[in-house]
Amino acid sequence: MGTMKNSSKFSLLESQGCDSSIAIPAKLITATECFEKKEQAWFVTSKVPTDLTVQVGDITFYAHKHPLTSRSGYINRLDLQSTSKSNFDNDIKLNNFPGGSGTFEIILKFCYGLPIDLTPTNVAPLRCASEFLEMTEEFEDGNLISKTEAFLTFIVLSSWKNSITVLKSCESLYPWAENLQIIRRCCDSIAWQASRDNLANGEFTDNERWWFDEVSTLRIDHFVRIITATRAKGAKPEVIGACIMYYGEKWLCGMGLGLTDHGKGSGRHELQLSILSGKRQEGSPGYNKEQRVLIESLISILPPEKEAVSCKFLLQMLKMATVYSATPALVSELEKRIGMVLEDANVNDLLIPNYRGGDEEKHSQSPQSGECTMHDIETVQRIVEYFLMHEQQRHQQNSENSQVGKLLDNYLAEIARDPNLTISKFQVLAEALPPGARACDDGLYRAIDTYLKTHPSTNEHDRRRLCKLMDCEKLSLDACMHAGQNDRLPLRTIIQVLFSEQLKVRAAIHEKKPVPDEITEQENRWSSAEKEIESTKAELGMVKTMLQELQKDYSELQQELEKLNIKQKSASSWSYGWKKLKSSTFFHGKIDSDTTRDENHSQTPTGSKVSRQRRRSIS
């Protein structure tokens, strides 16, 4: 039994094994009154009983064989196979049918000769379903494949909105819509029209945003293909970047950038909730794979030009990429992109939370370890390094460096409030920029003062270590006024500040510039401070002199004490010898002899005088 082209006027219903056959006019079958739905079934109401059931999903269609076999190669082939086996199998189940039961209902009406309406909404499902059923011209002139192809080519692809509508309908038609090139053709059509308008205008204006909202309703993979095709057709990078930012704000939870007026408004709050709940790991509560895919897809299609997207958007993307554990290579690429436009950053956007991911061990670490800081300082340090590498390649300095210097000083002032921030981390980040990057050190002084205020237990050595980071000569008069009275600074630093301030005042006077009240006040304060310093120096000199005198007196007292100790030792030895001598026989004999001699000479005055002198000498 061959295929039937331009099906005959009669339908032959044969019963295999019997010689008789019944011929029924086809018009009696196709001239249906209506389709009627009862619960989960569709019935074709006709004068001829139905002889075929087709199940699509959970819906069963009761129809006739001939209208379907005459237009569908797929169903015709099933019928031939059942006929060759001498066994009618009138039940067909269509698994994974493109478009589902709704699309099959339209096809069934088409097969019965009833009028159908092709629209941008149903043309893609009908094109895929007709391909599934093999509804080619071989079975019927003007079959469904040719009709849907003509509609796509002449009606859909020539219209921006129709192409968008068809592309949306293709989201549930994979892989049929992909294999039939419906998605590619629609994406190319949208990209061509977008780039045509863009190139015709010459400059990007807000009027060109009309297509942003349209393409932002598409699925991320379709959006990526449109952006890629639009770039290939020569659209300007800032147009591509603006469209990407628009899409990201609409679909990324917590992106609330304020770029458009349709944003959620609570984006900042949602981002904070994401931060507090920690880093998302695959399989963990709150993990959203779609968000991760969306983030990675948007990063992968960012134009390389630095003016394409704002630094604010890049930093927000970096935070989201960290939350949802995006691919490290993409995160690193994002950090490099931020480094290219770091001079446009805002300090609040640069405050990247330190996502811990619920690791209780990290939470319990001591503050001295520096691992529990509230902000991700290492990431900012890498971004600054990328900025310096980029500036070195461009051989441009000063203007961008000065702006980044102010930004970094403001960032240091913010993170200095973290009680767990170590001096080493603060110092490394403060020294990340070259010496000439800061035109003024007021911001760095404010950061140092904030750190010392937050960490009052910092020892004198570490205080001097911090103050060495700033150049006192780069402080303004206001900063000098504050630093000169700041008891948190080491005395040496205060003296350096006052000396630098005096030089500035003298330089202003020497140049014969008008001396403002501020400088006059500074001069008066300097004179007072200078007197206090001289007085302090004098007092220190007096104390030093007194200390030297005390040391001299102490030495003399120590020598006297040593002499007394020697005398005491000598007196003690002599007393012991005297006592021993008195107790000896010789001593008593000598005394008696002398006494007798004295008595013999006592009558003479001279002898009496000598005797008294000797006794006095002995005593």
More confident residue, 125 or 598: 125
Distance (Å, whole) CA 210 – CA 69:
47
pLDDT average, residue stretch 122-144: 94
Q: What is the mean pLDDT of the chain?
A: 77
Q: Is the pLDDT of residue 282 over 70?
A: no
Q: Which helix (H) or strand (E) holds 491?
A: helix 491-510
Is 397's pLDDT higher than 80? no
Model confidence, pTM: 0.70
Select the highest-mean-pLDDT range: 276-285, 487-496, 499-508: 487-496
Select, from the ranges 192-201, 266-275, 324-333, 593-602, the one with the highest average predicted confidence (pLDDT).
Answer: 324-333
* Closest to 98 in 3D by CA, of 144, 41, 70, 57: 57
pLDDT above 80 for 276: no
Contact call for residues 97 and 104 (beta carbons, < 8 A)? yes
Q: Which residues does 439 contact at the CB level (< 8 Å), separation at least 6? A: 402, 405, 474
CA–CA separation, 221 and 226 (whole Å): 9
Is the pLDDT at 482 greater than 60, yes or no? yes
Residue from 77, 79, 139, 131 nearest 107 by CA: 131
Q: What is the three-class DSSP state of 304? A: coil
pLDDT at 148 over 80: yes
Neighbours of 36 (CB within 10 A): 11
Pairing outcome for strands 59-63 and 52-56 = antiparallel
Q: Which helix (H) or strand (E) holds 400?
A: helix 399-415
Residue in 384, 381, 379 with CA at minimum distance from that of residue 343: 384
pLDDT the model gives residue 616: 37
- pLDDT average, residue stretch 101-112: 92
Res 263 pLDDT > 80: no
How far is Cα 107 from Cα 101, in angstroms, rounded to an integer? 10
Q: Is the pLDDT of residue 207 over 80?
A: no
- Report helix, strand or coil for 161: helix
Lowest mean pLDDT among 34-38, 343-347, 396-400, 475-479: 396-400
Q: Look at the block and give the residue holding tokens 């939350």.
A: 323
- Distant-in-sequence, close-in-space partners of 225: CB < 8 Å, separation ≥ 6: 183, 184, 187
pLDDT of residue 306: 87
Taking the C-alpha atoms of residue 323 and residue 326, their distance in angstroms, rounded to an integer, is 8
pLDDT at residue 102 greater than cutoff 70: yes
pLDDT at 240: 92
pLDDT band at 203 (very low <50, low <70, confident <90, very high): low
- Each residue's pLDDT tens digit, 38-62: 777 777 777 788 888 999 988 899 8
Least confident of 93-102, 335-344, 457-466, 546-555: 546-555
The predicted pLDDT at position 44 comes to: 78
Cα 455–456–458 angle (5° rounding)? 75
pLDDT at 110: 93
Q: Between residues 361 and 509, which one has the greater pLDDT? A: 509
The Cα 206–Cα 14 span in angstroms is 69
User: What is the rounded distance in angstroms from the CA atom of residue 385 to the CA atom of residue 383?
Assistant: 5
Predicted confidence at residue 313, as pLDDT, reads 95
Answer whether residue 505 shows pLDDT above 60: yes
Q: Cα angle vertex 510, ends 505, 515, to 5°?
A: 55
Find out whether 129 and 119 touch, Cβ atoms under 8 Å. no
C-alpha 344/C-alpha 439 separation (Å) is 18
Provide the edge-to-edge strand list for the sheet that holds 91-94.
34-38, 41-45, 59-63, 52-56, 91-94
Cβ atoms of 367 and 420 within 8 Å: the answer is yes
Distances (CA, A) of 404 to 29, 182, 311, 341, 401: 81, 49, 13, 10, 5
| Maximum average pLDDT range among 30-39, 500-509, 585-594 | 500-509
- As given in the structure block, the two tokens for residue 462 are 């570490």
Give residue 149's pLDDT. 96
CA distance 81 to 86: 9
CA separation for the pair 350, 377 (Å, rounded): 10
Label residue 560 by pLDDT band (50, 70, 90): confident
State percent of the chain over pLDDT 90: 41
Contact 140, 70 (CB under 8 A): yes
Query: For 514-538, what is each residue's pLDDT tens digit?
Result: 545 555 555 566 566 666 667 766 7
pLDDT band at 195; cut points 50, 70, 90: confident
Assigned token pair, 110: 């088409």
Q: Which of 18-22, 44-48, 169-173, 490-494 has the highest mean pLDDT?
A: 169-173
Contacts of 394 (CB under 8 A, 6+ apart): none
Q: Percent of the chain having pLDDT more than 70?
A: 69
For residues 575-583, average pLDDT: 52
Q: Which fold has domain 10-116?
A: Potassium Channel Kv1.1; Chain A (3.30.710)
Question: What pLDDT was estimated at residue 179?
Answer: 96
pLDDT at 445: 94
Task: Identify the burial level of 414 via C-beta atoms within 10 angstroms of its C-beta, where 0-12 means exposed, 13-18 middle and 19 or more buried.
Answer: middle
CA distance 466 to 490: 10
Asked if omega into 175 is within 30° of 0 (cis), the reply is: yes
pLDDT at 89 over 70: no
